[in-house]
Each structure stands twice: as C-alpha cells, then as structure tokens.
C-alpha cells in the first residue's frame, strides 16, 4: 500500500487464496484518502483472479486476457481502469535464446493490479525503485505503471546489448579463415531476434497512446507524462537497435551463404584440376592399351619409358599451371 501524499509505502506479502485473499480484499476496501494499493499476482488461478477482479471492477474480457497471458502488447481502457499488456524478456547467452514472459497491468483510480506469467517478473525491481523514490509515489497509481514499464524497457536494452555481442562474435566467426558453416547458428539467433522484435515493436504505439491519452484521460496525472516519455524514448532506441540486429543478421547470413558457395567453387576447381591432370596419363595409357598389331613404337626398346616420361611431364606441367593460377 502506498501513501500518495507522503510517498510512504507499506508492503504486505500474502499467498492467495483463502484467508490471505480475504485479507487483501479487506485492505483494499479500507484504503484511506490519498492511499493506493498495488497487488501483485504471479501465474494466478481463475478463482484467485476472479475475487480481486470483482473488487477492482475489472472487465471480464480483461480478466480473461490476464488469466491466459500470451497477449500482444496493447493498451485498453475499461471505464476508469487502464489495462496495459507487455512482454517481459531476457537474453540467455549460454543458450543463445530470448526467454519471454507476459505481464498485464491494471491501473485504477486507487489501485494497481499486476498479473505476470513466466519466470521474469519486473515488479520486484519496480517496487524497489518506488521505495527508493518517494516523490514518484506521489504521482499515484500511474507511478507503478511507469516503474514496471521502465524496468521492462531497461531489460530490453540489456538484452539488445547482449544479442549485439553475440552477433559480433558470430560475424567474426563467419569471416574467419576456418571453414565452419555457421548457418544454423545464424538462423537460431535470427529466430530469437524476431521473437525479441515481436515484444518490442508493438509496445511502441502503446507508449505513444499513453502519452497522447484518450478522452477523459488527458487531464489525469499530467506530471507523469515526462517519465512515460523518457521510457518511450528508451524503447524507441531499443526498437531501432532490434531492427538493426535483424538486418545485420540477414547480411551475415548472406555472407555465410556466399562463403559456402566460395568453398564449393574451390572444391570444384580442385577436383577439376586433378581430373585434368589424371586425364592425360589416362589418355596415353588408353591409346597404348589398344591391342592392334601395327601400332608405332610397339617394338621399340624405349617405347615404354618414353610413354611413362610423357605422362609425368604432361601431368607435372598441368600441376604447375594450376598451382600458379590458384586452383591447387
């Protein structure tokens, strides 16, 4: 519970449901003037969410979205309750994977409800930031919205930085002298970047909508707008970075495919060169292997050494020519 006038905060940890749920509902009903409450749920059951939704006046469609998760980042208003859905994510370098989660934030006149799904929950860091900044608490429930968005967007920036480092290493490997095909690794990272982009890109218009506001909302908490604008600016930079990473991966993939094609051409040149070198001895041996009675040099004492010498000289000349031209 937060005192909007003083910025004072009081935390009550409860495990829903049963008696603890009733205790939370009792505290919500007993809020004093100037106070607002923040209720945090992680992977709640339908019954757990239903009791709080009824008390907070949440729309059934919003409750359904919050219960099942996996929502595209969006912003909706149900009467006096603002609902914001966003993706949470982090980059696991050891697995070269972007791990995602979901969180839905319901901002009412005197309460905030956050429902998170997955192992990533920005609410803990957001609460820590609010505790360290009582002035922000005075902005009311939207201060919680800002704190959660700020933590989530900061995690996007950190993930983008880590993905960039992985991409730089992958790019160095592609252009190294070793003949290792990194196509699978590039495709894997590109798939993760696309998932990253699906979390960041749809959130950009959501924050723009929070700044512009809708009818009846523009005059509510106007002092929080600069903070939301700052988060939107950070998100915009991250969105550009993610788009750049996606484009760079296309370029690296093209470079890898070009290198694979070059390797194949080199192999084909070597095979062709050796085939040409062995073709001349094969031709000479084939001619002198024909069983005709009146072939020249058949009765000559030095015929065999001459044929072998001719094979060696011709093959050696071709080998030297191919080496000089870089085919071998």
How many Å apart are CA 297 and CA 119, to the nearest integer? 87
Task: Answer yes or no: are the C-beta atoms of 146 and 136 closer than 8 Å.
Answer: yes
Are residue 185 and residue 254 in the same domain, yes or no? yes
Are residue 248 and residue 285 in the same domain, yes or no? no
Are residue 293 and residue 240 in the same domain, yes or no? no
Q: Of the candidates 46, 84, 88, which has an alpha carbon nearest to the alpha carbon of residue 67?
A: 46
Are residue 152 and residue 292 in the same domain, yes or no? no
Given 205, 240, 260, which residue is the final one in a domain?
260
How many Å apart are CA 167 and CA 180, to the nearest integer? 16
Are residue 145 and residue 52 in the same domain, yes or no? yes
Residues 6+ apart with CB under 8 A from 216: none
DSSP assigned state of 66 = H
- Lookup result for tokens 């001349």: 280
Are residue 177 and residue 307 in the same domain, yes or no? no
The pLDDT score that the predictor gives to residue 218 is 47
The pLDDT score that the predictor gives to residue 16 is 47
Are residue 229 and residue 292 in the same domain, yes or no? no
Are residue 41 and residue 63 in the same domain, yes or no? yes
Are residue 281 and residue 157 in the same domain, yes or no? no
Domain with 315, as residue range(s), is: 265-324
Task: Answer yes or no: are the C-beta atoms of 109 and 115 closer than 8 Å.
Answer: no
Given 233, 260, 287, which residue is the final one in a domain?
260
How many Å apart are CA 143 and CA 147, to the nearest integer? 6
Q: CATH number of the domain at 155, please.
A: 3.30.460.20
Domain count, the chain: 2
Task: Answer yes or no: are the C-beta atoms of 230 and 223 closer than 8 Å.
Answer: no
| pLDDT tens-digit readout, 71-122 | 889 999 888 889 999 999 999 888 888 899 999 999 988 888 999 998 888 9
The pLDDT score that the predictor gives to residue 216 is 46
The pLDDT score that the predictor gives to residue 34 is 67
- Mean pLDDT for each consecutive 10-residue tract of the chain (328 residues)? 57 49 60 76 82 80 84 88 92 86 89 88 90 86 92 94 93 87 90 92 92 57 82 95 94 90 83 85 79 69 79 86 79
Given 242, 260, 278, which residue is the final one in a domain?
260
**How is 114-145 classified by DSSP, letter by letter?**
EEEESS--THHHHHHHHHH-HHHHTTTHHHHH
Q: What would the two tokens of residue 233 be?
A: 């600016």
| pLDDT tens-digit readout, 23-60 | 566 666 656 666 788 888 888 888 778 877 877 778 88
The pLDDT score that the predictor gives to residue 161 is 93
Are residue 143 and residue 157 in the same domain, yes or no? yes
Are residue 52 and residue 159 in the same domain, yes or no? yes
The pLDDT score that the predictor gives to residue 160 is 94
Q: CATH number of the domain at 272, please.
A: 1.20.58.340
Backbone φ, ψ for residue 221 (5° rounding): 50, 55
Are residue 37 and residue 115 in the same domain, yes or no? yes
**Residue 114, burial from CB neighbour count under 10 angstroms (0-12, 13-18, 19+):** buried
């Amino acid at each position: 519970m937060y005192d909007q006038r003083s910025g004072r905060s009081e935390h009550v940890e409860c495990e829903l449901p049963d008696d603890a749920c009733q205790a939370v509902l009792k505290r919500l009903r007993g809020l004093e003037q100037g106070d607002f409450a923040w209720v945090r749920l992680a992977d709640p059951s339908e019954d757990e969410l239903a009791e709080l939704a009824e008390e907070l006046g949440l729309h059934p469609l919003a409750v359904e979205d919050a219960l099942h998760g996996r929502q595209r980042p969006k912003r909706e208003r149900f009467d006096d309750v603002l609902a914001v859905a966003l993706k949470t994510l982090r980059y696991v370098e050891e697995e070269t994977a972007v791990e995602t989660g979901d969180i839905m934030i319901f901002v009412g006149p005197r309460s905030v409800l956050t429902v998170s799904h997955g192992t990533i929950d920005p609410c803990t860091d957001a609460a820590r930031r609010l505790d360290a900044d009582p002035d922000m608490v005075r902005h009311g429930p939207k201060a919680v919205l800002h704190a959660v968005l700020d933590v989530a967007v900061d995690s996007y920036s950190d993930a983008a930085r880590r993905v960039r480092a992985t991409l730089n290493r992958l790019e160095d490997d592609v252009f190294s002298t070793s003949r290792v095909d990194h196509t699978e690794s590039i495709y894997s990272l590109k798939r993760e970047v696309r998932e990253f982009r699906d979390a960041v890109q749809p959130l950009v218009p959501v924050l723009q909508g929070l700044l512009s506001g809708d009818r009846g909302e523009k005059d509510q908490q106007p002092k929080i707008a600069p903070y939301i604008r700052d988060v939107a600016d950070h998100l915009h930079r991250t969105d550009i970075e993610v788009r750049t990473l996606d484009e760079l991966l296309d370029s690296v993939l093209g470079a890898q495919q070009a290198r694979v094609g070059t390797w194949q051409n080199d192999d084909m040149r070597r095979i062709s060169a050796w085939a040409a070198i062995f073709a001349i001895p094969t031709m000479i041996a084939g001619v002198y292997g024909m069983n005709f009675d009146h072939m020249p040099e058949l009765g000559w004492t030095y015929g065999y050494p001459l044929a072998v010498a001719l094979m060696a000289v011709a093959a050696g000349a071709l080998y030297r020519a191919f080496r000089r031209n870089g085919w071998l």
